[in-house]
Amino acid sequence: MSLDDKRAPLLAEDKLGAVPTAQLTAEEHIKNNLPDVLSRWQLRNTTERERPRTAQSFCVPKADIAAQGYDLSLNRYKEVVHEEVEHLAPKDILANLARLEVEIQQGMEKLEGLLG
């Protein structure tokens, strides 16, 4: 259901719930991930324990939860990996802006010439 005040269904009835009767596309899976949750829950004592804490879902040992005072906030346990972003040097940015400004001025002069 949508999260606005209308609470409209996001998918057709046959694509809702933990066991939808119709196959979900990747785009529809974003709107209903309950089938994935159910399958992962059934694997919670096997392969699910090996998932990294950067994944969408992962297991946390009870001892870790107890150490956090049983706080179940996701940000206490999920590891966030930030992508390294490489920026241009400020002088290079200014040079690019100056080049773009010249192109804009040339384009404006052409337009003024067309308008007479």
- pLDDT per residue as tens digits for the range 21-65: 998 898 888 888 889 888 888 888 888 888 999 988 889 999 999
Mean pLDDT of 4-32: 89
pLDDT at 90 exceeding the cut of 90:
yes
Residues 68 and 33 in one domain: yes
Compute CA distances 88 → 54, 85, 95, 104, 114, whole Å.
29, 10, 11, 22, 37
Residues 19 and 67 in one domain: yes
The terminus-to-terminus CA distance of the chain in angstroms comes to: 57
Residues 61 and 103 in one domain: no
Domain range holding 98? 86-116
Say if 35 falls within a structural domain.
yes
In whole angstroms, what is the distance from residue 64 CA to residue 74 CA?
12
Say if 30 falls within a structural domain.
yes
Compute CA distances 67 → 73, 76, 77, whole Å.
13, 11, 11
User: pLDDT grade, residue 98 (50/70/90)?
Assistant: very high
3-state DSSP call for residue 55?
A: coil
Say if 91 falls within a structural domain.
yes
Contact 22, 31 (CB under 8 A): no
Residues 71 and 103 in one domain: no
Mean pLDDT of 71-98: 94
Compute CA distances 99 → 90, 92, 105, 112, whole Å.
14, 11, 10, 20
Q: What is the pLDDT of residue 17?
A: 87
Q: What is the pLDDT of residue 30?
A: 85
Mean pLDDT of 89-108: 96
Say if 72 falls within a structural domain.
yes
What pTM, to 2 d.p., does this model score? 0.52
Residues 18 and 65 in one domain: yes
Residues 53 and 94 in one domain: no
Number of domains in the chain: 2
Residues 113 and 62 in one domain: no
